[in-house]
Amino acid sequence: MVKRVSMRFTGSRLIAISSLLIAAVAAAATRPRYGGTLHVQMAGTLDSMDPADGSQRGTLAARNLLDLIFDTLVALDDRGQPQPALAISWLAEAGNQRWQFVLRPGVTFSDGTPLTPEVVAGSLRRANPAWKVTARENAVIIQVDPASLDLPAELALPRNSIVTLEAGKVLGTGPFVVSQWDPGKKLAMAARNDYWGGRPFLDSVEIEMGKDTREQTIAYQLGQSQVIEIPAGQVGHANDPGPLRVSEPIELVALLFARDVQSPEETKQRQILALSIDRDLLNRVVLQGGGQPAGGLLPDWLSGYAFLFPVSADLTHAQQLRAEVPQAPLWSLGYDRSDPLERVLAERIVLNAGDAGLRLQLATTNTPDVRLVRVDLTSLDAQVALSELASSMGLPAPHFLGHSSDDLYHAENAMVQSERVLPLLHLRTAWAVSKTVRNWHDSRDGAWRLPNVWLAPGRP
Amino acid sequence: MKFRRKLLLVFALTVVVCVAAVAWISSALARGVFEKADEQRTAALVAQFRREFDRRGEEIARRVDAVAKSEAATRMALSLSPGPPDYAAYLNEAQTLAETWQLDFLEFVDGEGTILSSTPWPAKFGYKESFPVMAAPRDSFLKQEQRPDSMALALVVVRRIPAGDSPLYVMGGRKLDKDFLASLEPSAGMKAFFYQNLGPSFTPQFLITPTGVTQPWELLAPIVQQVQQRGKETTSLIHWSSDAADDEMIDAIPLAGADREVLGILLVATSRKAYVELEQQIRSAAVVSGAAGIVLAILLSGWIASRVTRPVEQLAHAAQEIAAGHWNSEVNITSHDELGDLAQSFNRMTRELRDQRERLVQAERVAAWRDLARRLAHELKNPLFPLQLTIENLLRARQGSREQFDEIFQEGSSTLLAEIANLKAVVSRFSEFSKMPQPRFQQVQLNELVHDGVRLFQSQLGAPGHPPIECRLEMDRGLEPLAADPELLHRALANLILNAIEAMPNGGTLTLRTHQKGDRFYVEVSDTGSGLQPEQRERLFTPYFTTKQHGTGLGLAILQSVVSDHGGRITVRSNAGEGTTFSIELPRNADKLQPAEAAHTTSGS
């Protein structure tokens, strides 16, 4: 009996223990775990680890990679609202011309040196020579002229990352520290245990840059890479390699004229070109529906009024206007020959322009009359994003009368009406992310949040 | 031109003409052989090109067939509906299938001629295809393929996919490029180019050339334009550089598309290097042969000429010797040919001439002796007759009275003495002629000698009962002194003046002139007498010739001897009825003077 009882007791206990073990294993599969290396492949490149390097300002690759190594005083959330980062609070004085940012205590750079107001002031002065930045106890004072209501959002830009220069190296306070750096090709990073925001779950991140779609796809399918970049033209394609993480349209495709309008006839010619291009067909066919036709510079999700800019092609109207122009000069259209998407877009634009009677040909020189450009939106703050767009394209900075939507619209409309830039499309950015990558945050602007990502065990 | 040179020229010309003729004939034959070989090689390469063309066409046809039967194409054909096509679904189909089947061009076109998918121009979706795919031939054909930024020539095939409600056409092809040319295997010295006739004018960028070959392609423009205009095969020689060895014969063969329009031109270049080298070798051989022939001609002509001309030259030399008075010259006879006969005849002629001359001299000598005897007899007979008459008169007077005899004796002795004096004079003149004295040069003034001569005969000129003779002196007052024997010249001038006076028995004008030309001095004595007959003028200075009743004929001979001894000469101008002029020309003779006198003469001049 005893034995039977004993056996019954033992069997119950075994069942209970087994149930507990199964539950524990199941819980372990959904609970974040530390460790592992995240392998990423992407088409974009980063040639300099210096955030203040103007040559790569505003690219998505720069933003995502630099965010892993460097921090800014302020960060923007998905709604574009400034959130504390290295600065825990800030205060505007004297009509938004003088700002004080109180620094987060206990923050260190990757080499262990503490973050001080002097270092922060030096870093900001280096990135913004026009600013007057001074250190004060546990804070920095920034004086700008003219006044800027968007200074916190501007401080969230990657180029305003806080850095310190040590033996020729640029060090940051970010969650990862560079362990291997091959400019333009490979970047390997290790997690910082002493990161002020908490140690990342990942032990390391390895990023291979400049990879074409085919290489990325093969690496993804072989499990050599957990995250790859999906070209804009293949977003929503039936043959996607896996589940996509798609951002809001954050990249502007536009035609940028090399010079200002010189005559009323030229204004008309640029209007003819704008009317002749079938943006909807470009989006549906060339982008496979992965973007949005654009009449304005900012996407609708950011500005809220993009529908006010016309995007429809009107070939009849274009031909009528063409009849009013006695002679149309031969324009050369430049594009990035290494970008297959730009090539197809450029060729289609040439065909569309020809339908309207304009003479447009693909450029063979480096100084075309008009260039097809792709510019990333680098801020979730609309005014900052528009200013950065203008800066990236070499256009005059927009003039904002205030901080309302009307002020933003008038500034953007003035840029569009100048006929220097002809918006065509807004593209989304997309990443194919393996199922083993957990807690991937689908940000609106396509930004990574890798400190919160962790890797599930097993083959992807 | 000497015979030797003529012979050399003839030999050299013969050699050069022969060598040139042989070289030209050889060159022409070589050219003919090379041209025929080139034609055959070109035809072979063109045939190879056409075979490769057909082979590629079949290969492309197989690939396009495979594309047409592919699942993607079938799906596309089945999905075609009356509404607007879903271009987004087809955008990359052409590129994907083209990569799979290794086609450079691939297009899907619906029954309306609308492009559904295209590569390498994917942006062309929705536009009409310019080529009527519905009427395309079954086999492969050439076609201009429009690219976004260029044009290219391609070998294409069109297939119809019979699926779905509306037909779907697939048109695929491969461009003609360097790989196509590389597949050809031209023989050595040949190259093949392919010109894509994509524009109205010649554009070097449209020329497909073998790898590594660079030339000034603009030189091909004329032949390409010729084919463009005529549409027929054309051949032309291209000079790539100044070196003829770089020349190439270009055969341009037009290649037409489906609508018979010339779309491409196959250019077969055949190097003329081998021919040019052979021609240069022929030319060099001809030059060397010609030079050797000319040298041989020189030697041969020299040898022949020496055999022929040496006897002739000996003959000429002997003739010159004889002409110079060496009558004993003879030619050695060394051959028995015509030249030997000629030399023998020359020697015989020389001997006969020598004999005739001796006979002539002998005869002249006899004639001279006879003439001298006649003269002497004549001269002696004149005084002898009075002597005979006087003596006979004396003999007759001796028979008479003493007074009469004394008177006659007185007269007779005077006559005898006079005649004896005449005889002495005659003898003296003959003696004088036989031993003419050598002139003793001294400085004289010619004008003074003339004045002295005239003064000597002044009394005779104005003698009563004698017709008046006017004496006119035309002296050159600037006459310089000269070296001469004044005595001999005086006598010579006196002789000429006397002759002139005697030539004017009826009176007239005696003119004496002097003048000087450089180192030559002239004295002229002119009369207005009856003049001389031509035969008299020719023999005037011959000794013992005279036109006078009582002259010895030695006066002018002596005068000529005197003038000759002075280094001068005497001439006569005379026509019958127009008087006679004797002209004495004398040199300065400064070198004949003693040094002191010479210095005086020079300073005086």
Q: If you average pLDDT over every residue of chain B, what do you get?
A: 83
Q: Do A284 and B125 lie within an 8 Å CB cutoff?
A: no
Q: Per the CB < 8 Å rule, is B122 touching A347?
A: yes
Which of B123, B126, B127 is nearest residue A344 as measured by Cβ atoms?
B123
Closest in A289, A348, A361 to B123, CB measured: A348
- pLDDT for A3: 37
Confidence (pLDDT) at A8: 42
Best-predicted range by mean pLDDT (A390-394, B148-152, B224-228, B329-333): A390-394
Q: Which of B87, B91, B123 sits opposite A351 (nearest CB)?
A: B123
Bridge partners (DSSP) of residue A205 are A38, A189
Q: Is B596 on the interface with A (CB under 8 A)?
A: no
A169 interface with B at CB cutoff 8 Å: no
Closest CA to A100 of A146, A162, A151: A151
pLDDT for B267 beyond 90:
no
User: pLDDT, tens digit, for every residue of B157-198?
Assistant: 999 987 666 789 999 999 888 877 777 777 788 888 888 888
Q: Residue B553's pLDDT is what?
A: 73
B87 in A contact zone (CB under 8 Å): yes
Is A229 in contact with A220 (CB distance < 8 Å)?
no
Rounded-to-integer distance, Cα B337 and Cα B333, Å? 10
Given CB atoms, is B121 within the 8 Å cutoff of chain A? yes
Q: Which of A67-71, A237-241, B113-117, B438-442 has the lowest mean pLDDT?
A: A237-241
Nearest alpha carbon to residue B155 among B173, B178, B137, B179: B173
The answer to whether A289 faces chain B, any CB pair under 8 Å, is yes
Tell me whether residues B124 and A347 touch, CB distance under 8 A: yes
Q: Is B522 on the interface with A (CB under 8 A)?
A: no
Q: Which of B87, B91, B124 sits opposite A351 (nearest CB)?
A: B124
For residue A237, give the chain B residue with the closest CA. Answer: B89
Q: Give percent of chain B with pLDDT exceeding 90.
A: 16
| DSSP H stretches of helix in A277-368 | 279-281, 300-303, 315-324, 340-355
Judge: B88–A361 Cβ closer than 8 Å, yes or no. Answer: no
* Distances in whole angstroms, Cα of residue A120 to Cα of each of A89, A159, A437: 15, 13, 34
Residues of B in contact with A345 (CB under 8 A): 123
Considering CB atoms only, which of A288, A289, A347 is closest to B123?
A: A347
Residue A142, min C-alpha distance to chain B (Å) = 51
Q: Which of B86, B116, B125 should we substitute to test contact with A (largest number of A Cβ atoms within 10 Å)?
A: B125
Measure in Å the smallest separation between the Cα of A359 and chain B Cα atoms.
Answer: 13
Q: Identify the residue whose tokens are 């047409």.
A: B68
Q: Do A285 and B148 touch (CB under 8 A)?
A: no
Instruction: From residue B139, give the alpha-carbon distance in Å to each of B54, B155, B198.
Output: 9, 10, 22
Of the given ranges (A6-10, B286-290, B495-499, B508-512), which has the lowest mean pLDDT? Answer: A6-10
Instruction: Work out how many CB contacts closer than 8 A connect A with B.
Output: 34
Position B467, amino acid: P
Counting Cα atoms < 13 Å in the Cβ hemisphere of A388 gives: 30
Mean pLDDT of A70-92: 93
Show which of residues 326-345 on chain A sit within 8 Å of chain B, judged by CB atoms.
343-345
> What Rg value do the Cα atoms of chain A yield, rounded?
26
Q: DSSP class of residue A398?
A: P
Q: How many C-alpha atoms does B501 have within 13 Å on its Cβ side?
A: 21
Residue A18 above 60 pLDDT?
Answer: no
Closest CA to B159 of B137, B132, B131, B141: B137
Higher pLDDT, B466 or A100: A100
Could you tell me which chain B residue has the CA closest to the CA of A345?
Answer: B123
If pLDDT is split at 50, 70 and 90, which confidence band does B15 have? confident
What are the pLDDT digits (tens) for A312-364? 999 999 999 999 988 888 999 999 988 888 999 999 999 999 999 999 999 87
Q: Are B359 and B371 in contact (CB under 8 A)?
A: no
CA distance A126 to chain B (A): 45
Structure confidence at residue A25 (pLDDT) = 47
Tell me: pLDDT of B556 over 90.
no
Q: Tell me whether B96 touches chain A (CB under 8 Å).
A: no
| Higher-pLDDT residue of B112, B165 | B112
A288/B contact by beta carbon, under 8 A: yes
Question: Which residue out of B92, B95, B99, B127 would a mutagenesis test of the A interface target, given it has the greatest number of A Cβ atoms within 10 Å?
Answer: B92
Residue A5 has pLDDT above 70, yes or no: no
Average pLDDT over chain A, rounded to whole?
A: 87
| Lowest mean per-residue pLDDT among A228-237, A355-364, B243-252, B426-435 | B426-435
Assign A238 a pLDDT band (cuts: 50, 70, 90). very low
Ranges A383-387, B32-36, B180-184, B417-421, most confident: A383-387
Over the stretch A135-192, which tens digit does the pLDDT of each residue have? 998 999 999 888 888 899 999 998 899 999 888 889 999 999 999 999 989 999 999 9
Contact B88 A362 (CB under 8 A): no
B265: exposed, middle or buried (Cβ count in 10 Å: 0-12, 13-18, 19+) = buried
Nearest 10 degrees: CA dihedral of A360, A365, A367, A368? 10
Hey, are the CB atoms on A345 and B123 less than 8 Å from each other?
yes
Minimal Cα–Cα distance from B120 to chain A, Å?
A: 10
Look at the pTM and tell me if it is higher than 0.90. no
Cα–Cα distances (Å) from A302 to A153, A236, A283, A334, in that order, read: 14, 22, 19, 29
pLDDT band, very low/low/confident/very high, at A237 (cuts 50, 70, 90): low
Answer yes or no: do B149 and A364 touch at CB < 8 A. Answer: yes
Residues of B in contact with A346 (CB under 8 A): 123, 148
Higher pLDDT, B314 or B483: B483
ipTM for the predicted complex:
0.78
